[in-house]
Amino acid sequence: MKKGIHPEYRAVVFQDTSCDFAILTRSTIKSSDTIKWNDGNTYPLIKLEISSGSHPFFTGKQKLLDTAGRVEKFQKKYSVKKTSKN
């Protein structure tokens, strides 16, 4: 690799603000916030709004929509009514 052209690759903590979930990994992202981790070291902190700890797909709390019922309801509501002519 060429020297001086690549960003610094370092340990970073990603923390989900909506639940008690944090992970220590490596990244090149920059942050001015820091956090003291379980090992006693201080790492840059990146705050997330959603992660695998809070996303419905990963937590198993996903809602299933009844699309067939919704379509039938729409068709019933907006269907053209037949009129009988005398």
Kind plus residue range of the DSSP H or E element containing 50: none
Report the pLDDT value the prediction gives residue 85, as an integer from 0 to 100.
Answer: 64
Burial of 46 (0-12, 13-18, 19+ CB in 10 A): middle
Which tokens go with 71?
A: 């379509």
Q: Tell me the domain boundaries of the chain.
A: 10-78
Listed in order, strand segments (DSSP E) in the chain are 10-16, 21-27, 34-36, 42-48
The answer to whether the CB of 37 falls within 8 A of the CB of 54 is: no
pTM: 0.60
pLDDT digits (tens, 9 = 90+) for 45-80: 999 887 777 766 656 665 555 666 777 788 888 886
Sheet arrangement for strand 21-27: 21-27, 10-16, 42-48, 34-36
